[in-house]
Amino acid sequence: MAVAAAFFVFFFILSFDFSSGGDLRYGVSFSRFHTDELGLDWRETYLAIQNDLGVKNFRFSAHWPATEPEKDKYNFTELDFQMAEAHSSGASVILAVGRRLPGWPECHEPEWLKIESGKLKGESEIKKFKNERVLKYIETVVNRYKSYDNIIYWQVENEPFLTGFSRSACGPLDKSLLDEEIALVRFLDNRPVLITDSGEIGDWLRAYSRGDVFGTSLYLYVWPRSLGFPIRYPITPGFFRLKHNITRLVFGPKPSFIVELSAEPWLLQPIVETPIEVQLDRMSTDKFNEMIDFSAKTGFNGFYLWGAEWWYWLKLQGYPEHWERAKELFQPSSMN
């Protein structure tokens, strides 16, 4: 009887859609880091995404090695350009700060930090030095851009509780440092803090409870190196609705959306070293459409796609189909 009741409650919760309804809102993550991997001109790529695709919602990442390439010497050239262009076009921005930001190997430290910390003795001394430096970098970035009224959220770290992924680069999670980073950003500016977690394997509870806003990823087609062959997660949109509903029941409602919707292939080697036919097999336009359709049924109504730089790279290679399909998301009138 108890088992039957548990199953009833499970499917009862699963059946509900607590989304706010309304129109679906699409955006993209843009990364200078990713354009470099693809050998693209980053300004040209960004402007094409903004002006040709018509994107009005961006997520930018202040990757630490690019932002502070030398100790106490900051480079804001790329972010200044992106922020100014987004502001002038009326686009909203999520700005991500922290050591762990989107893009393999997930955790990004400048070389000078590695060199200087290597001169220190003892784990506690190294930890103290690194923590002080990451907090100073975050403070510098937030103070520089907090005057932009089109920033809607500050993202602090990226999927910080996904500790099993890229463990060699990231090491164990320092939860006290994460909480200190969140508190620092809240002290510096009053806009909401976004904390993210993996859609498929994250528990959501720890990330959701810490942020003012919650963002999750959605990856259906993956190629784990440990398996050696590609797979599709055997899940339905109801899997996301269930996790979201349970999390809301525990911690209460708050703004939530899919901050990283996979729309480029998951590969075992860099894209530019992979035959295009393999790329298109792993993320064909059919799979692209499946990702869009799947996400629309999860109960969320905000989606930031990952892969816009790749669509542009494909277009330059003579394969514009993904780019043209994306236009239909960002410019619905182009369908008419």
Higher pLDDT, 1 or 327: 327
Instruction: Say how far apart CA 141 and CA 137 lie, in whole Å.
Output: 6
Evaluate if residue 22 carries a pLDDT over 70. Answer: no
Per-residue pLDDT band at 15 (split at 50, 70, 90): very low
**Residues β-bridged to residue 222:** 231
What is the predicted pLDDT for the residue at 20?
46
Instruction: Burial-class residue 159 by CB neighbours within 10 Å (0-12, 13-18, 19+).
Output: buried
Closest Cα to residue 162, out of 107, 210, 123?
Answer: 107
Per-residue pLDDT band at 327 (split at 50, 70, 90): very high
What is the predicted pLDDT for the residue at 331?
85
Average pLDDT in the 145-149 region? 98
3-state secondary structure of 116: helix
3-state secondary structure of 194: strand
Instruction: Say how far apart CA 63 and CA 69 lie, in whole Å.
Output: 10
- Which residues contact residue 90 at a Cβ distance below 8 angstroms, ignoring those fewer than 6 apart? 56, 150
Query: What size, in residues, is the chain?
Result: 336
Evaluate if residue 322 carries a pLDDT over 80. Answer: yes
Average pLDDT in the 21-43 region? 92
For 100-109, write each residue's pLDDT tens digit. 999 988 999 9
Q: Which of 3-7, 187-191, 212-216, 241-245 has the lowest mean pLDDT?
A: 3-7
Per-residue pLDDT band at 243 (split at 50, 70, 90): very high
Q: Residue 58 phi/psi, 5° resolution?
A: -120, 150
Per-residue pLDDT band at 189 (split at 50, 70, 90): very high
Instruction: Say how far apart CA 228 and CA 246 lie, in whole Å.
Output: 33
What is the predicted pLDDT for the residue at 239?
97
Evaluate if residue 4 carries a pLDDT over 80. Answer: no
Evaluate if residue 268 carries a pLDDT over 50. Answer: yes
* Count of beta carbons in the 10 Å neighbourhood of residue 251: 14
What is the predicted pLDDT for the residue at 84?
98
**pTM as predicted:** 0.93
Are 186 and 146 a contacting pair, CB within 8 Å? no
Are 159 and 204 a contacting pair, CB within 8 Å? no
Domain assignments of the chain as residue spans, ordered by start:
61-189, 192-336
Closest Cα to residue 224, out of 195, 196, 201?
Answer: 201
- Please tell me the CATH superfamily of domain 61-189, with its number: Glycosidases (3.20.20.80)
What is the predicted pLDDT for the residue at 23?
77
For 37-59, write each residue's pLDDT tens digit. 999 999 999 999 999 999 999 99
Instruction: Say how far apart CA 29 and CA 307 lie, in whole Å.
Output: 8
For 87-139, write each residue's pLDDT tens digit. 999 999 999 999 999 998 899 999 999 999 988 888 999 999 999 999 999 99
Instruction: Say how far apart CA 237 and CA 91 lie, in whole Å.
Output: 29
What is the predicted pLDDT for the residue at 332?
73
For 150-186, write each residue's pLDDT tens digit. 999 999 999 999 998 877 788 899 999 999 999 999 9
Are 198 and 214 a contacting pair, CB within 8 Å? no
Evaluate if residue 311 carries a pLDDT over 70. Answer: yes
Average pLDDT over the chain reads 92
